[in-house]
Amino acid sequence: MELEEFPKEIRPYIFPKHKGNQIYRCLACGREYGLEKLLYTCPSCGQVFLIYDRDFDQLKKISGALWRKIFDYRKMASIPALKGIYLYHEFVGPTIPPDAVVYLGEAHTPLIEANSFLQKKLGIRFFVKNDGQNPSASFKDRGMASALSYINYLIKGGAVSDILAVCASTGDTSASAALYASYLQPHVKSAVLLPYKKVTPQQLSQPLGNGAKVFEIPGVFDDCMKVVEAMSERYNVALLNSKNAWRILGQETYSYEIAQDFEYDMVNKAVVLPIGNAGNITAVMSGFIKFYETGVIDALPKIVGVQSQHANPVFRYYASESKRREFIPVTVKPSVAQAAMIGNPVSMPRVIYLAELYNQISGGQNVFVVEVTEQAIMEWELIANRNGHIACTQGGESLAGLVVAQEHGIINNNEIAIIDSTAHALKFSGFQEMYFERKFPSEFGISYKSDLINAPVLVETENTDNNFISETFAQQEDRSQRFIDISARAIANALNLKPKELL
């Protein structure tokens, strides 16, 4: 839609004007630093940052009702820089001029209502928000669009050149980083560190295809993270892990979209999502708080984080009595929710800070963490996908978390749940295959239910090894007809089909 066609009162707001005054703020000592330099941790005390806009209060001068209209109308504008996460420009990165925005088609992912079979089975109305439908097939693209737009802004301003972007990854961060970095080549090159044999073949193929240097480290994600942290301290590299606070800003849009998807009515809603490095739950809480503070929404939804028993440090932290809480990293065990298989989440200080704030604003506990079994994660992924979804194993983890949250009375059936399926099913099809072929290594502790197993059937026809080159045309036709007849009969028998009644 052309600008002149928008209602008069909206026109001045379609193109963002708020420039903001964004800074890094240390969560421990409160020191603030300007954005001219890429910083990940406080130079003074070493703690992680969140990025704040010192002029955020100016956004409150616009009413919630007007913001809602601005976002809804912006969706109709054909301005690429405002099509992805930057539809919410003023909230995501007012510092970033639209011409520096890197947009590769991320965000505004579909919200799909579960079918009546699933809703009856769980006894609750719920939706799946499919973040697997992002360019690199996971939610990480939201954060990467934000981080690379900022880097692009620095490049365009001449503040940096020849950037080497690095990250450690359970598979999806590296896929996303490599994709977004390759868009900015030759100014940006990327290198990714992966735990050897602990990402799926699809995830490994992604950074390779996008031209990143890929390093496999014998160990788990937490080991890779220590190496890139050391590298970012000692060398001139741009760290793209969620330690980088720009990632969090981009991922906040998941909350903004949920609000918009539900016409900004967040009463009686519960958002359920997996926790790995805890960047996503940080962003989701932060996003809802910002929309609440500016009156865009007038209630904060319940947030339920989910962890597997095989990688549960955040669950353990919140399970202990609030006065005795002390964060203790865990050693992870193999998990089908492999992208969340993290024992020492870097965003834990952010989670502790924001969960407390979220509960305080909500006037009572509104952030919960539940734990689920590997078996439940796997089964719920398979069940979801047998009912029209494209959930990854972490999406299965969310669904399993919804079930546990209901059992514990955390979510009840007068609420509407929104399940985060964080990546596309195809990235994790190897786990499905291991289930279908009963081939899980014993450490996963997975047992099999035959009604959830599926396998292809090879249709046997006549021996096809003959040398057909000397066949006449008529012989070929004859054989082709036999082939069709035999195949059709074999499939019909397998499916128990009855022949059509002849009229």
Ligand X SMILES: *Cc1c(COP(=O)(O)O)cnc(C)c1O
CB of 312 to ligand X, least distance (A): 13
Instruction: Assign 3-class secondary structure to 51-104.
Output: EEECCHHHHHHCCHHHHHHHHHHHCCCCCHHHCCHHHHHHHHCCCCCHHHCCCC
Per the structure block, which two tokens stand in for 191?
């290198």
Closest to Zn ion by CB, 42 vs 154, is: 42
Backbone angles phi, psi at 469, to 5 degrees: -60, -35
Q: Where along the sequence are the contacts to ligand X (CB under 6 A)?
A: 138, 140, 172, 242, 274-280, 339-340, 392, 394, 422-423
Kindly state whether residue 26 participates in binding Zn ion, applying the rule CB under 5 A: yes
Residue in the structure block whose two tokens are 């439908």:
133
Q: Tell which residue, 316, 335, 338, has the closest CA to residue 325.
A: 316
- The alpha carbon of residue 53 and the mean position of all alpha carbons in its chain are separated, in whole angstroms, by 25
Closest to Zn ion by CB, 29 vs 65, is: 29
Instruction: Give the integer Cα–Cα distance in Å for 118 and 125.
Output: 9
Give the binding range for Zn ion (CB under 5 A) out of 27-35, 229-237, 275-283, 341-349: 27-35
Q: Which are the contacts of 464, defined by CB distance < 8 A and separation ≥ 6?
A: none
Among ligand X, Zn ion, none, what does residue 45 contact (CB within 5–8 Å per kind)? Zn ion
Would you say 258 and 130 are in contact if contact means Cβ atoms under 8 Å apart?
no
Q: Which helix (H) or strand (E) holds 375?
A: helix 374-385
Closest to ligand X by CB, 53 vs 420, is: 420
Among ligand X, Zn ion, none, what does residue 42 contact (CB within 5–8 Å per kind)? Zn ion
Closest to ligand X by CB, 137 vs 181, is: 137
CB of 51 to Zn ion, least distance (A): 14
CB of 470 to ligand X, least distance (A): 55
Closest to ligand X by CB, 90 vs 106, is: 106
CB of 355 to ligand X, least distance (A): 14
Kindly state whether residue 426 participates in binding Zn ion, applying the rule CB under 5 A: no
Residues 375-404 within binding reach of Zn ion (CB under 5 A): none
Kindly state whether residue 42 participates in binding Zn ion, applying the rule CB under 5 A: yes
Where helices occur in 9-165 by DSSP H, the ranges are 11-14, 64-74, 89-92, 116-122, 140-156
Out of 1, 45, 319, 459, the only residue in the binding site for Zn ion (CB under 5 A) is 45
Per the structure block, which two tokens stand in for 432?
């499905």
Kindly state whether residue 44 participates in binding Zn ion, applying the rule CB under 5 A: yes
Q: Tell which residue, 440, 322, 324, 325, has the closest CA to residue 377.
A: 440
Among Zn ion, ligand X, none, what does residue 340 contact (CB within 5–8 Å per kind)? ligand X
Question: How distant, in Å, are the alpha carbons of 49, 52, 159, 166, 339 from that of 35?
Answer: 12, 11, 11, 19, 30
| Count of alpha carbons within 13 angstroms of residue 410, beta-carbon side | 24
Kindly state whether residue 29 participates in binding Zn ion, applying the rule CB under 5 A: yes
Closest to ligand X by CB, 336 vs 392, is: 392
CB of 232 to ligand X, least distance (A): 18
CB of 457 to ligand X, least distance (A): 31
Residues 305-344 within binding reach of Zn ion (CB under 5 A): none
Backbone angles phi, psi at 454, to 5 degrees: -140, 145
Would you say 272 and 304 are in contact if contact means Cβ atoms under 8 Å apart?
yes
Give the binding range for Zn ion (CB under 5 A) out of 25-33, 136-144, 307-315, 488-496: 25-33
Alpha carbon dihedral 275, 279, 280, 283, in 10-degree steps, equals 140
Among Zn ion, ligand X, none, what does residue 378 contact (CB within 5–8 Å per kind)? none
DSSP 423: B
CB of 30 to Zn ion, least distance (A): 7
Going across the sheet that includes 49-53, the strands are 32-33, 22-26, 49-53
CB of 335 to ligand X, least distance (A): 11
CB of 347 to Zn ion, least distance (A): 16
The residues with which 177 forms a beta bridge, in sequence order, are: none
Kindly state whether residue 32 participates in binding Zn ion, applying the rule CB under 5 A: no
Among ligand X, Zn ion, none, what does residue 228 contact (CB within 5–8 Å per kind)? none
Question: How distant, in Å, are the alpha carbons of 205, 251, 275, 395 from that of 130?
Answer: 22, 14, 16, 9
The residues with which 189 forms a beta bridge, in sequence order, are: 164
Instruction: Give the integer Cα–Cα distance in Å for 488 and 490.
Output: 6
Residues that contact Zn ion, how many (by CB under 5 A): 8
Q: Tell which residue, 391, 306, 374, has the closest CA to residue 336.
A: 374
Among Zn ion, ligand X, none, what does residue 44 contact (CB within 5–8 Å per kind)? Zn ion
CB of 367 to Zn ion, least distance (A): 24
Kindly state whether residue 50 participates in binding Zn ion, applying the rule CB under 5 A: no
Kindly state whether residue 43 participates in binding Zn ion, applying the rule CB under 5 A: no
Among ligand X, Zn ion, none, what does residue 422 contact (CB within 5–8 Å per kind)? ligand X
Contacts with Zn ion by CB under 5 A lie at 26, 28-29, 31, 42, 44-45, 47
